[in-house]
A and B are shown apart, each in its own frame.
Chain A
Amino acid sequence: MASKPHRVVAAIDFGTYGTGFAWTTVSQDNSEMRTRRISFFEDWEDQKLSYPKNRSALLLDAEGRLLSWGYQAVTQRDAMPAGAGWRLLTGFKMSLQRNLGSGDTVSGDAGVVLVGDAPDAFRLAVLCMEQVYAKARDHITRGAYQESDIRWCVTVPAIWDQYTRDLIYKAAVEAGLPNDPERLLLAQEPAAAALYCTARGEALLSTPGTRFLVVDAGGGTVDITSYQVAGNGRLNELAPASGAKTGSDYLNEAFMNEVLVRRFGLAVISRILRDQRSAIAGTMDAWERAKRSFSADSADDLVIPLSAPFYAALVREKASGRWDGSGEPVTEVVVSHGLVASLFDQRIDETIGCVEQQLREMRSASGVTGGEIALLVGGFAESPYLRSRLGDRLADRGVRVVVPEQPSIAVLAGAVHFAYNPSVFLTWRAPFTVGIKISLPFREGHDPESKRVIGYGNRELCDDRFDVFVVNRAAVLTSEPITRTYWPLREEQTAITIRLFSTTMKNVEYVTEQGVELLGSLTVDLSASMDRRVGERAVEVAMHLGQTHIRVEARNIHTNEPQSATVQWNPTW
């Protein structure tokens, strides 16, 4: 029994475009995943329309103070007094991992400038999560539950590295969520989606031996993972998550640049973006809806009605003589089927490439080819065009594509299932070889002379040896940490610094080899054990590799005090 049982599990889906939460109560009625009753929140304050997610957007004043968030921030931005210097910020989630961010460019993400400044992204993520956490906490505890009854789960893209996962954990804690690994979990988005599909009754996903891919096509990224159903219905990951920044936001950017700018001129669009951002946002919302109905089955062109304020702004541009667009202002733009298809194809081809790579990996890991299922989830999964292109391509490879009834809530609902019972995942696949730097007995004729050192008791040792905890692609049990014991090298040593390294290589001997990167370090104090012999000053290192949020703990065995709970991860980019 846990020291403090959780009575509610709640998930926060912190998305590139929107953020929402859902929860369920821990009870007999909810013990079965298939019949579990999940509650979704849809009544955001100041949001005229009910919707399960609010916008991941923040409006800050000139001093950086929060004015509003969500949809309210988007609409309030247009009411900015002249010269007030307010900033509307969105897209900060993807900027947390800089190599996945969109840089300093203007995005078509509903006409709002994406955050290009990565250092700001952490603070903005904290601010946004503060809002959604406060709303979720207040809502769930308005009845008989207390905040301490709740186990929380925050979703993260599977392709985020450990540094960024650690960053989002810290952001969540700074936003007010509990700093307790038992009460604050991180869920890989595609893994959560897999649970949603299982819960929704996709029978094969409970059949032992079934192998399936999850393709989570969201706003910013496409995340792909693969699993095999174990004998007890639990899931073994077959290959580390992969993916790319080929989410639907990039189609929005293409629509902005390839359609709107070409049609109405860059100067006109820039002025409207500057003066009346929500006018463009309304049109981008219409495009968002249009692209979700774009299908390969029909040759019809796509009609995108411009928002009334956007049309009015175009008319004013024309009347002022600053018009540099083609033709007259119009109330809708008609985009040819061919052009839309080409915009889609650019991104879908990349997505298909990633899916095929994952398929090869899962087939190699399982030793079986054919008969797989591909679950397509996420907001972009609602696109009939994506479904049919992916379906056609994968059908040729013996893979059946399945889209759940509500792909857009799959991650959120699945994260609730994950928080309810994280042990449903039996094993993960290590995304890299990970280990620590140690000294081992020197091997004459094998180890380089430059690495020869003299240790305690005049023993000849080889420095910089890579002590492997887990090999790249190896299956790692989610329930048990990997533990090792180490001793100081020298008599006078009052601390041991554990340095963690990773590499994609499966065979590695020294941490100085090409392609080996320092992940982080932690230091264990030995000063309380200096009265003991060196052989009694042992330090135990436990690596919790089986969890979404990898943790490394080290303790002085003599004092039994953990010195550092988590490692300071370094970015891999």
Chain B
Amino acid sequence: MRVSLAGEDGPRTRLLVDGGNGTVVLLEEWMSRVATDFRGLAADVDELRRQSAEIRQELSTIITAFNEERHWVRSLPRESADFRQRLEELDQRLNNVLDLFEKHFGGSGQTEQAMLHHEYAAEYLALVEQKILALALDVLADGPALPRDKAALVAAVCLDLFGYPEIQEQRLMDRLQHNRSVNVTRRIEEICSDARLLRQKASLGRQQRWDFGYTRGLPVDEGRQEMWPGSVDGGLVDFVVAPAYLVDSDTLLKKQRVFTATTDAEGAREHAGGAGEHPDWQSSAAGAGRAVQDLP
């Protein structure tokens, strides 16, 4: 600060102060400036205080929100687990509903129990092709048998075994009484025993039947019938050798075995299923020089 003296009425004292940047200003002026500055600063401080209060408020809001969020996030695993559990339960319920729907409206698949009929059908055909055919070969062993003779004998045995409500064992024994060696008797007993067991098993589960029905004099229906060996290739159905194995009314597990001949003088004739008509085994076998009993 510097002091300078000047003026008309005598010396006056002026107090000068450093105004900055190499200037000097009067003390009053300087004080006025400072006062102005202070007022400005006070206003700034007020503004800052106001802003600070606002920020505090905002921060507080944010912290509150954050705490809420944090709380929510902490609860997420539990909520997620709950949600997952609900989904799983819903999934299980949906699965159970779909399963129920499938049971009631699906229904074209077969159960394991139902599949047993495939085993039985295979057993049936093995019985015909193995044991009954072997029996026919034994019975007709005396001389050269025509294919039709063998087929006719197999047909007669199949009818006694599967064409009636009960196995016709006595009728079978009687039918073959003149050809009955010890071996033939053994075979008949074994065949009847096997057939009885098979019929018993086949009667369980799916509805099953042995189908003897055919129309004589028509060509072979390849969808339902199969020619027995020795049949006339391209011939017409003469008689049923072995019945078809059917389940569920018309589901074919084994085709009907039929014997075919070249012509059929009588024309087409329908034969019902069950104990239908049968080849004249006596006449053809008699032609080969063997005595046989009448067929039913």
Contact = CB atoms under 8 A, between A and B. Distances in A.
Interface of A: 1, 5, 7, 22-23, 25-30, 37-43, 48-52, 139, 142-145, 286, 289-290, 292-293, 300-312, 331-332, 334, 382, 405-406, 408-409, 413
Contacts of A23: 109
B130 A302 contact: yes
Given A39-B110, A50-B247, A143-B105, 4 more contacts: A22-B109, A39-B106, A49-B255, A408-B119
Given A41-B109, A143-B106, A292 B122 contact: yes
Nearest to B252: A49
Contacts of A22: 109
Contact of A286 (B92, B96, B129): B129
A334 B135 CA distance: 12
A408 B115 CA distance: 10
A42 B115 CA distance: 9
Contact of B115 (A7, A301, A302, A406): A406
Contact of B91 (A5, A48, A301, A310): A5
Interface in B196-253: 222-224, 226-231, 233, 247, 251-253
Interface string B87-114: 1100110111011011001101111101
Nearest to A300: B134
Contacts of B228: 305, 308
- Chain B interface residue count: which class? 35 or more
A486 B166 CA distance: 77
Interface string B69-97: 00000000000000010011001101110
A9 to B, nearest CB: 11
Contacts of B223: 48
Contacts of A143: 101-102, 105-106
**Chain B interface, >50% SS class:** helix
A41 B112 CA distance: 11
B219 to A, nearest CB: 13
A302 B130 CA distance: 7
B98 A39 contact: no
Contacts of B91: 1, 5
Contacts of B99: 25-30
Contact of A409 (B94, B115, B254): B115
Contact of A38 (B101, B112, B150): B112
9 contacts: A23-B109, A25-B102, A27-B99, A29-B99, A48-B252, A49-B255, A50-B247, A303-B129, A332-B137
Contact of B134 (A7, A144, A303): A303
Contacts of B109: 22-23, 39-41, 139
B59 interface: no
B55 interface: no
B26 interface: no
Instruction: Please name the 4 residue pairs, one residue from A and one from B, whose CB atoms are nearest each other, closest first.
Output: A39-B109, A308-B227, A27-B99, A331-B229
Contacts of A139: 108-109
A1 B129 CA distance: 55
Contacts of A37: 111
Nearest to B135: A303
A408 B224 CA distance: 25
